[in-house]
Every structure is written in C-alpha cells, then in structure tokens.
Amino acid sequence: MDVIEWNGRTACALQAALRATNEDFASRLGVAVRTVAGWHQRPDTVPRAEMQEALDTVYERAPASVLRRFSILSRPAPPAVPAQALRVAIAVVVRDREVLLVCRRGDDSLSWQFPAGMVKPGASPAVVAVEETHAETGVRCAVRKHLGSRIHPVTGVVAEYQLAEYLMGEAVNRDDRENDAVAWVPIDQLPKFIPTEKIYPPILEALA
C-alpha cells in the first residue's frame, strides 16, 4: 500500500472517495463529527498519530474503485493562474503638426479619442497600437516611443501609450460600428476635442 501523508485535505479526499457523509466518515474512524468538520475547515491540519492509523486502516480496507477515486481527488490542485489586468494600447499618431483622432460611439454620446486596441496576453502593445490604428483608420504608422502607462481614470484598464509617426494612408473610418468619424486634428486645437485635463501628461509633453 502507498504511504499517505494525512492532513485535512487528504482525509477529506478519502471521505469524498468513499462518498461518505461527515457522520458516516466519523463513525468509520471512531471520531467525533466535529473532527471531520474541522478537516474541511482547516485542510492543512495534521491529524494525531492514532488518527492517522485509523485513516490508514480505512484506506487499506477500501475497494479498488474507492482507491482510484482517492488517487484522483488527493492530487495537489494546480497553481492558480494569476488574473491579468486588461490592457489597451493607445496610439498617438503624429503627421507634421497634426494628430490622429477617432470619434467613439458611446451608449448615448460621442467622444474623441486616440486610436486604441485591446492587448491580449503575450502581445506587444507597440504592435497592437500599429495594427489597431490601421484597422480603425487605414493609416499606416510606426511607433517611435513608449510614452508610459497608467490605470486609466475612466475605464480602469492599464493604458499603454505609444507615440507613433505617420507613414502612409488616407484617414478613413474603417470601423463605423464603434466610431462615428476619423480626423487629423491640428495639435494646437487638440483641447477642443479632448479636454486637456483628460489627456495623459506625457502626451502633452511629446506634442509640445
């Protein structure tokens, strides 16, 4: 027989393999029901030596089907995959003294913003910024500088800002489901489209 390292978790795995209630499992082991309940509450608890002997006895007398279930149920849980914050890549595309904007459709309003796209795990924000700009506006650009990142004050996502240079292409609205319009805006008129206090300060510094 295998040597089992008994603790609250493995004891509960044996109980589950036997398909026993707390009362039935406690009766088989000759312990109080509160002892079994305690293993469920504190899975790291190590039973006393005499309790481990009782668990060994129940395990050794169990039929093969129970042992197979126990083998599966007692395996360590895989490490949790940490949740990843949602990230967006935001492209600040400059052509001479103009900057590219898109007019987003909201639930009941329109707002001018820089082209942006969601960054999937493992993807490069710089690449996403270039690809999303072309997908939304038809403009080809090249990222020249990472301006920084922050938790966006409105959406709560991690925003990655990329300063990009215009290469080619006419600015057209290629995503009329999300956008109402696309425009090249003179940099000195940018506050008329996006209030200055809502613009990430490194963007203002880069455009100055």
pLDDT at 117 over 70: yes
Question: What is the spatial distance between Cα 43 and Cα 145, in angstroms, rounded to a whole number?
Answer: 51
- Within the chain, strands assigned E span 87-95, 98-105, 110-113, 116-119, 140-151, 158-168, 179-186
pLDDT at 136 over 60: yes
Predicted local confidence at residue 156, as pLDDT: 84
Mean local confidence (pLDDT), 104-131: 92
Predicted local confidence at residue 61, as pLDDT: 93
- At 180-204, the pLDDT tens digits run 999 999 999 999 999 999 999 999 9
Mean local confidence (pLDDT), 50-74: 93
Predicted local confidence at residue 155, as pLDDT: 82
pLDDT at 126 over 60: yes
Predicted local confidence at residue 54, as pLDDT: 93
